[in-house]
Structures are given as structure tokens and as C-alpha cells.
């Protein structure tokens, strides 16, 4: 049967329509619908609408006020249908139940107006939880990385996805898979860390949780955004193809293959003069042709028009749209602009091939069909909307567990846990500030700050609130603000510290956007000194001679030079979420043992160019430069309240080699290595065993150490466990001399490390066989097995 195209504007019959036949595949259903649609109707599926956007310049996206000025009215926008609805919950505080009802009403209007009854796909931010008023706020991604616990991150994402789906949301703009390259970048807080394997495994876990809840995960920002020159937001990226392939792209591969993400968002960045939004080799050649991605690519907010206004590679709206569509962008977000009337006119005039419109519309329709939006009986209003709660005991339990695991103990001379019976001074600008727990993309910080009359929406106890419940003799002085030059409060803080048995000093960041904070989008740093006069406060308090517990609550690592070496303890927390105050207080008082590990290195020098641990020999301390880039605390570092002994490192397969032998490892095989971990202290604790690859001779320069596996190992006092890693040879692959990814034969070492800078044991191996080229289907993961060992009693 041949489908007939109804006259433009004439309602299409929806009875028994093949595009609603669930017995057909989503692709077949989309192919049945696409020929019936006019150019206007197809283009309408390719843009979103941000109805509640703010036009005052106090917005939540770069150049927002420039981009939304003069947007068409609602009735005009939806007359041919609509692709996406942008952040109906995440633009202003709205009661969740009322918001869901309002969203359903909008959807019903869209369906009634569209000839084919196609609802909009609804997206929201969800990096640290559903970015909606009264929704649970989880730790920021650097906290996920610090936990070294992908399973808990997956659990968190599943809970986030369930709350979004219950509210009528279909797509989440998370996770951020940018690998940290320069800590000065304001969006460092949104990254999971500086290591591709940690970012990839954790990011893939987040994707699985969100996708399993029925919400489309959107990987961002593809690709290279975090490597901007000088750490400046949207600045050009100076990066070669090997750095891109070996450091930036692997987390995206892992999240697609191991997580099943169905959407990708382009980076604002340009690499070697090519903006990602116009890069056909990246968005089509690599992502789709090589990697086999079949989902939708959405534009980062206003990125299509930025091809004209910021990058200067397009002459106008239609030209920008053409470049983006040809590159592989399917949907313009957040609102209609370059994909509007100018695009329709260009297609009608034959200036843009309609096949590009069809390609993007087909992908959008397939995804909407996969989400059930074109099924008979689809309903805009969730069945149990009256019971919708976005912050509940289950979510808060996950939030506090992840916050606890994300706290990193960097230094401890014995002052921690705190003596709860002693006199404790709590000083610092973040000691009694609920916003100290929140990153840039949390709802209270991202949106709520513009609506102070609505409150935070959730209860966020401060560190002072939680410590006061546990430490009876607690005094408090702020000392100074996070930013600014006012030092008038420092003498009072010094006096409080001098009169105490121990002082807890809480300093760090205040997240914001575009200069409204010290960390966050557009809040880049010139160097890695603590903001404002906080360093003066730290020096003054340390000079009292009172033991000081320095608590860093930040969105990036700050330099901890020799002047901070007299601190009795140093604790790092990366915006730990709404229950971060509780988690910190529990760790400080010993109710919970610390188990976090650094997902980024803590530099010693504030002014030197930041560099991650993934450096070849000449990127480290050497005799040809007067600058020593050795960090104060390396990637992977973290202490506990107990002690661990590591022993008996061995190669289990392919041979049981003696310690002095070099075990063979086929270039197409797997090696299993094992180590025994023993809790030798009198407290329970969790050791994080890290496995690093050292490749001493390769055809291109390689990092001295590179993470290829890790395991959290909880042990009671006296308990021991075998930790076995199964490492596929593919994990050793890198971009070789010809630009292809290869597994190269030769000598390597697998090193068991307490951090990237402290290796406990090393096992020499030799990759054997011919050089092997590998691609996107290579093995990506090292398997882990933890076997508790039962103590054998001594014979009488």
C-alpha cells in the first residue's frame, strides 16, 4: 500500500497508522511516517523550545540573552509539531506535581496541533540529580570519581532516572565525560577526573543507571572541551590526534559500548581550527561510521548559531544550520533559532539538501518511537503524578553513602578522628554555608539563586550543623568570605583557633556561573591559589600552633605548597551534595572511616602550568627544567584510619611465573594478576587497590603510569583478601606511529599502586606476538575479583 501525503495543514488519520504499529521496528515505523511529513513538519522535529527562558542576562547558558531575543510565540512555534521541550522543571522553581501537570498540558497542546500527534521529547539537566526544585542533590562528578565506586554511581543514576521519568522527562543532559586536562578550567568540578579509565568506567555506570530507568543519557561534551588553552571556557584547543584518541575519546567509547547511551552532545570547542559542531569527521565519520552510534546528536545550547557568532565559520543562520546538519547534529537546543524559518526557506530554495533534514528527522523519530511517544494509548500525564516526590529517603540514603565515599583524607598526623570531648574551633567561610556542598549544576545554585524567596527546596545541613551535633564544645568564626579582599574577620578566627584544642578550618569554592562564583561554568581561574584572602586565613590560623584540620570544599584541586605542610590533617571534599555536611562530620569524628581517593592530583605550585599525572618522562621532574611539577598529593592518593599491608603480588595466568621471571602475555590474550591485601590496624577500612600499566619502550611516548584497573576492598580489622585483575591485552593499546591504535609487543609492567605516585608491587611481563591493530570493538575493561581469605587457626 502506498502512503498518500495529506495536504499541508490537513489532519492526518491516526487510526491504524503504520507508524503506531508496535509490531514494526522503530526504524520501520519512522520510515512509514517520514514521507508523509512536509519540510516544515520535519524541521519542527529538529529543534527544542525553552519557553521559560530568562532574557535578563542572568541566565544559565552562555550568551543566552542574545540567543532567545525575539523568539516566536508558543502557538507559532508548535504549529508544525515540536522536537523537544527544554527544561520545564529546570528553569524556575516549580512544585513537582504542578510542574508535571503543566508539562502534560503543554504536551497535549503539541499533540493536538501536530497532524501526526507527535509529542515533544522532554530533556532536563541531571548531572548532580534531577535539576528541579525539591529534588535530591547528589555529590558532584569529581566526588563520583573520588569514590572509585562505579556501582554506587550507577545506583545513584538509576534513582535520578526514575524520578525524571515519573515527572514526564525523557532525556537527561549527563554525564560529563570530559577528562580533566587543566584544573584552572571552571568546569573541572563537572568532570569525573583526570584519568580516562576512571572517567570511562564511572561514566558508563552512570549511563547504565539512567538508561535502565528509561531515560536517554546524553554524553557531553564531544570532544576536547576540557583541554582549552589556559583553562579558559570555550577557548581553542591545542591538541594532536594522539592526545585526542588516547586521553579524550576513550570515556565516550566506554559509555556508548558499556553503558548504551542514546544521545551525544557536541563540544563548544574547536580543535585545530575546526569547531566540533561543524566537524563531520568527528560527529559522523568517527561517531557513526566507525563507532556505529545510531542515536541522536544534540547541539549544546546555542552551539549551532555560535558557528556564526563566535567561531566565524558561517555567514548566517541557514549557513550555520547547514554546517551543523552536514556534520551530524540532529537537534538544535535549547530553542529554535538556526533550525527555524531560515532553514526551511533554504531547503525550499534548493540551497540545502532535504536529505540532510530527512536523516536527522529519521533519527529523532526513531528515538521518540523507542521511548513509546508514538504508541497508541500514550498519555502525557504519568499515572501516579499525585504521589510524585523528588527527594525521599531512598535518594537521600544514596546521596549520603556516595558523599561518605567521596571524602578524601590527604594527610593525618593523628589528630583525626576528632576528640569529641575537646574544645573544637570551626572556622572558615564554608563552615556554615549550605551552598558549600553544591556544584554549579545543582538546582539551588544553577537556578534557585535567582529565586531566593523559594528557598533551597531541600534541607542542606552545613558542616557546622552536623559537627555541633557531635562535638559539644564547638565554637565558630567565619574569618573571611570565599572571594573578596576583606580580612577584618581573620583576627576573630585566629582567637577562636588559639583557644581551642583543635581547629577545623573549612575553605574552598563557591560555585556559580559566568563569573558569579569561584568555580563553575565560565568561572575559570588564573592560577591555583585559594580564592580571595582564604590563604591568608589559613596561614594565620596555622601560625597559632593549634593543631589544624584543613577541610577543602572545592570544585577543583588547589595548590597545597610548603606553607600548608604544618596542617595536622588535610581533608578534601568535592562539592559533596545536600548531605555532604553529614558525611564530612561523620568522617571527621570517626563515625565513618575515609575511603575516597583523589580523582585529580593536588598540585604543589599554584602558578605553574597544571599537568595531570598522565605524563611521559619529560613531563615529570627532570634535569632540563627548573620547574618541578611533582604534585603535593598524586592522583589516586587517599588515607584511612587503619593500615593496610600488600603482599604476594603474582602473575596467575598465563603462567605461574617466579617473581624474578618475565611472564609472557599474548597480544591477543589476557593476563591475570593477584595481590593480597591485609588490614593490619584495629579499625575497619576500605583500601582502594589501583593497577597501573608501565610501558618503558614504545613507538610513541607513553605516560610513565596509566590506570588500567581498580577495586574497592572493604576489610575488617585483621582481615585479608586476594584481589585479582584480569587484564586484556587490548587495554595496553595506544595510538601508534601511523595513527592507528595498536597493541605493541614488548616489555611492560603491571604495577599495584596505592596511588599513581606510590607503587607497592610491580610485575614484569612481555607482550608476545605480532603487533596487533585494534579498533572500537576492542576489550575495554579489566575484570576484578575479590576473594576474602579465612584465617587458619594455629595448631595446638
pLDDT tens string 97-122: 999 999 999 999 999 998 999 999 99
Average pLDDT over every residue of 602-623: 87
More confident residue, 619 or 518: 518
Using pLDDT thresholds of 50, 70 and 90, give the confidence band for residue 314.
very high
Residue 790 has what pLDDT?
A: 77
Q: Cα–Cα distance between 185 and 673 in angstroms, integer?
A: 37
Q: What is the pLDDT of residues 161-188, one digit of tens each?
A: 999 999 999 999 999 999 999 999 999 9
Question: Within a 13 Å sphere around the CA of 545, how many CA atoms are in the beta-carbon half?
Answer: 1
Q: What is the pLDDT of residues 125-136, one digit of tens each?
A: 999 999 999 999
Burial of 199 (0-12, 13-18, 19+ CB in 10 A): buried
Residue 248 main-chain phi, psi, to 5 deg: -100, -45
Average pLDDT over every residue of 433-451: 93
pLDDT tops 90 at residue 15? no
Q: What is the pLDDT of residues 336-353, one digit of tens each?
A: 999 999 999 999 999 999
Q: What is the pLDDT of residues 185-242, one digit of tens each?
A: 999 999 999 999 999 999 999 999 999 999 999 999 999 999 999 999 999 999 999 9
Residue 53 has what pLDDT?
A: 44
Average pLDDT over every residue of 465-494: 97
Residue 791 has what pLDDT?
A: 63
> Kind and range of the H or E element at 759?
strand 758-768
pLDDT tops 70 at residue 528? yes
Residue 295, C-beta contacts closer than 8 angstroms, at least 6 positions apart: 216, 261, 262, 263, 264, 363, 367
Q: Cα–Cα distance between 507 and 477 in angstroms, integer?
A: 12
Q: Cα–Cα distance between 200 and 780 in angstroms, integer?
A: 9
Q: What mean pLDDT value characterizes the chain?
A: 93
Crossing angle between the packed helical segments 463-470 and 580-589, to the nearest 10 degrees: 40
pLDDT tops 80 at residue 5? no
For residues 606 and 184, is the Cβ–Cβ distance under 8 A?
A: no
Using pLDDT thresholds of 50, 70 and 90, give the confidence band for residue 68.
low
Using pLDDT thresholds of 50, 70 and 90, give the confidence band for residue 1.
very low
> Could you tell me how many helices (H) and strands (E) the chain has, helices first?
21, 27
**Cell numbers standing for residue 203:** 561514566
For residues 557 and 573, is the Cβ–Cβ distance under 8 A?
A: no
Q: What is the pLDDT of residues 402-413, one digit of tens each?
A: 999 999 999 999
For residues 736 and 742, is the Cβ–Cβ distance under 8 A?
A: yes
Percent of residues, the chain, with pLDDT higher than 70 = 94
Residue 58 has what pLDDT?
A: 45
Q: Cα–Cα distance between 541 and 548 in angstroms, integer?
A: 8
Residue 794 has what pLDDT?
A: 45
Residue 410 has what pLDDT?
A: 98
Residue 6 has what pLDDT?
A: 47
Whole-angstrom CA distances from 151 to 15, 176, 220, 781 are 45, 17, 21, 14
Q: Cα–Cα distance between 222 and 178 in angstroms, integer?
A: 8
Average pLDDT over every residue of 575-601: 98
Residue 383 has what pLDDT?
A: 78
Residue 623 has what pLDDT?
A: 84
pTM of the model: 0.95
Q: What is the pLDDT of residues 281-308, one digit of tens each?
A: 999 999 999 999 999 999 999 999 999 9
Q: What is the CA radius of gyration of the chain?
A: 27
Q: Cα–Cα distance between 557 and 532 in angstroms, integer?
A: 16
Using pLDDT thresholds of 50, 70 and 90, give the confidence band for residue 66.
low
pLDDT tops 70 at residue 9? no
For residues 512 and 482, is the Cβ–Cβ distance under 8 A?
A: no
Quick count: other Cβ atoms within 10 Å of Cβ 241?
11
Residue 564 main-chain phi, psi, to 5 deg: -100, 5
Residue 627 has what pLDDT?
A: 86
Percent of residues, the chain, with pLDDT higher than 90 = 86
Report the greatest alpha carbon distance in the chain.
95
pLDDT tops 70 at residue 4? no
pLDDT tops 70 at residue 259? yes
Residue 653 has what pLDDT?
A: 86
Q: Please state whether the peptide bond connecting residue 758 to the residue before it is cis, i.e. omega within 30 degrees of 0.
A: no
Quick count: other Cβ atoms within 10 Å of Cβ 459?
12
Residue 658 has what pLDDT?
A: 55
Hey, which bits of 596-705 come out as E strands? 644-653, 663-666, 670-679, 685-694
Residue 306 has what pLDDT?
A: 97
Average pLDDT over every residue of 369-388: 90
Q: Cα–Cα distance between 721 and 789 in angstroms, integer?
A: 5
Burial of 88 (0-12, 13-18, 19+ CB in 10 A): buried
Average pLDDT over every residue of 525-530: 95
Using pLDDT thresholds of 50, 70 and 90, give the confidence band for residue 63.
low
Average pLDDT over every residue of 85-96: 92
> Kind and range of the H or E element at 469?
helix 463-470
pLDDT tops 60 at residue 659? no
pLDDT tops 50 at residue 390? yes
Amino acid at each position: 500500500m502506498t502512503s498518500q501525503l495529506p495536504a499541508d495543514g490537513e489532519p492526518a488519520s491516526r487510526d491504524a497508522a503504520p507508524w503506531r504499529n508496535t509490531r514494526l521496528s522503530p526504524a520501520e515505523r519512522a520510515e512509514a511516517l517520514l514521507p508523509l511529513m512536509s519540510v516544515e513538519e520535519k524541521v519542527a522535529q529538529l529543534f527544542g523550545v525553552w519557553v521559560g527562558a530568562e532574557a535578563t542576562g542572568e541566565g544559565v547558558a552562555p550568551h543566552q540573552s542574545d540567543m532567545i531575543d525575539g523568539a516566536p510565540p508558543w502557538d507559532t512555534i508548535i504549529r508544525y509539531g515540536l522536537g523537544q521541550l527544554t527544561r520545564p522543571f529546570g528553569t524556575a522553581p516549580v512544585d513537582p506535581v504542578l510542574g508535571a501537570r503543566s508539562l502534560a498540558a503543554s504536551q497535549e497542546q503539541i499533540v493536538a496541533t501536530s497532524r501526526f500527534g507527535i509529542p515533544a521529547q522532554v530533556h532536563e539537566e541531571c548531572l548532580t540529580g534531577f535539576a528541579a526544585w525539591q529534588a535530591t542533590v547528589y555529590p558532584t562528578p569529581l566526588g563520583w570519581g573520588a569514590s572509585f565506586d562505579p556501582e554506587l554511581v550507577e545506583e545513584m543514576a538509576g534513582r535520578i532516572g526514575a524520578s525524571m521519568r515519573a515527572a514526564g522527562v525523557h532525556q537527561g543532559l549527563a554525564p560529563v565525560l570530559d577528562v580533566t586536562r587543566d584544573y584552572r578550567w571552571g568546569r573541572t568540578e563537572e568532570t569525573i577526573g583526570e584519568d580516562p579509565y576512571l572517567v570511562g568506567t564511572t561514566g558508563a555506570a552512570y549511563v547504565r543507571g539512567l538508561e535502565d530507568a528509561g531515560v536517554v543519557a546524553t554524553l557531553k561534551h564531544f570532544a576536547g572541551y576540557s583541554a582549552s588553552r589556559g583553562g579558559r571556557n570555550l577557548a581553542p584547543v591545542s591538541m594532536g590526534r594522539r592526545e585526542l584518541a588516547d586521553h579524550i575519546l576513550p570515556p565516550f567509547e566506554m559509555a556508548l559500548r558499556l553503558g548504551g547511551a542514546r544521545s551525544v552532545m557536541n563540544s563548544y570547542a574547536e580543535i585545530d581550527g575546526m569547531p566540533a559542531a561543524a566537524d563531520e569527521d568527528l560527529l559522523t565519520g568517527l561517531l557513526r561510521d566507525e563507532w556505529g552510534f545510531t542515536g541522536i546528536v544534540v547541539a549544546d545550547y546555542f552551539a549551532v548559531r555560535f558557528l556564526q557568532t563566535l567561531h566565524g565559520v558561517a555567514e548566517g543562520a541557514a549557513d550555520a544550520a547547514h554546517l551543523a546538519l552536514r556534520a551530524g547534529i540532529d537537534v538544535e537546543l535549547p530553542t529554535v533559532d538556526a533550525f527555524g524559518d531560515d532553514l526551511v526557506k533554504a531547503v525550499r530554495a534548493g540551497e540545502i539538501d532535504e536529505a540532510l533534514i530527512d536523516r536527522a528527522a529519521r533519527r529523532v523519530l526513531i528515538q521518540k518511537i523507542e521511548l513509546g511517544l508514538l504508541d497508541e494509548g500514550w498519555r502525557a500525564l504519568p499515572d501516579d503524578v499525585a504521589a510524585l516526590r523528588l527527594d525521599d529517603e531512598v535518594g537521600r540514603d544514596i546521596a549520603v553513602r556516595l558523599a561518605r565515599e567521596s571524602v578524601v583524607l590527604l594527610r593525618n598526623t593523628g589528630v583525626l578522628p576528632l576528640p569529641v570531648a575537646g574544645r573544637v574551633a570551626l572556622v572558615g567561610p564554608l563552615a556554615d554555608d549550605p551552598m558549600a556542598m553544591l556544584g554549579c549544576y545543582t538546582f539551588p545554585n544553577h537556578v534557585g539563586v535567582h529565586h531566593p524567596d523559594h528557598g533551597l527546596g531541600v534541607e542542606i545541613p552545613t558542616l557546622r550543623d552536623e559537627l555541633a551535633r557531635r562535638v559539644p564544645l564547638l565554637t565558630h568564626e567565619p574569618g573571611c568570605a570565599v572571594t573578596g579582599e576583606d580580612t577584618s574577620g581573620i583576627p576573630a578566627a585566629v582567637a577562636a583557633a588559639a583557644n581551642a584544642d583543635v581547629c577545623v578550618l573549612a575553605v574552598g569554592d563557591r560555585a556559580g556561573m559566568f563569573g558569579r562564583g569561584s568555580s563553575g561554568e565560565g568561572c575559570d581561574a588564573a592560577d591555583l591559589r585559594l580564592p580571595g584572602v582564604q590563604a591568608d586565613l589559613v596561614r594565620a590560623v596555622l601560625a597559632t600552633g593549634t593543631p589544624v584540620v584543613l577541610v577543602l570544599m572545592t570544585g577543583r584541586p588547589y595548590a597545597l605548597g610548603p606553607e600548608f605542610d604544618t596542617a595536622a590533617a588535610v581533608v578534601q571534599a568535592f562539592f559533596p551534595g545536600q548531605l555532604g555536611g553529614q558525611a564530612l562530620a561523620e568522617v571527621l569524628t570517626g563515625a565513618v572511616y575515609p575511603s575516597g581517593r583523589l580523582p585529580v592530583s593536588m598540585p604543589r605550585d599554584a602558578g605553574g602550568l597544571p599537568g595531570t599525572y598522565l605524563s611521559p618522562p619529560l613531563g615529570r621532574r627532570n634535569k632540563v627544567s627548573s620547574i618541578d611539577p611533582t604534585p603535593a598529593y598524586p592522583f589516586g592518593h587517599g588515607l584511612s584510619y587503619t593500615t593496610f599491608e600488600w603482599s604476594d603480588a603474582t602473575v596467575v595466568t598465563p603462567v605461574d611465573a617466579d617473581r624474578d621471571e618475565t611472564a609472557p602475555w599474548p597480544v591477543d590474550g589476557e593476563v591475570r594478576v593477584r595481590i593480597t591485601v591485609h588490614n593490619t590496624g584495629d579499625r575497619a577500612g576500605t583500601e582502594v587497590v589501583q593497577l597501573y600499566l608501565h610501558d618503558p619502550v614504545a613507538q610513541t611516548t607513553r605516560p610513565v603510569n596509566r590506570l588500567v584497573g581498580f577495586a574497592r576492598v572493604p576489610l575488617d580489622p585483621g582481615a585479608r583478601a586476594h584481589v585479582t585483575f584480569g587484564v586484556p591485552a587490548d587495554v595496553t593499546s595506544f595510538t601508534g606511529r601511523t595513527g592507528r591504535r595498536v597493541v605493541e609487543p614488548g616489555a611492560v609492567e603491571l604495577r599495584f599502586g596505592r596511588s599513581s605516585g606510590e607503587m607497592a608491587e610491580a610485575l614484569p611481563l612481555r607482550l608476545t606476538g605480532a603487533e596487533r591493530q585494534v579498533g572500537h570493538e576492542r576489550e575495554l575493561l579489566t575484570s576484578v575479583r575479590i576473594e576474602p581469605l579465612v584465617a587458619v587457626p594455629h595448631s595446638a
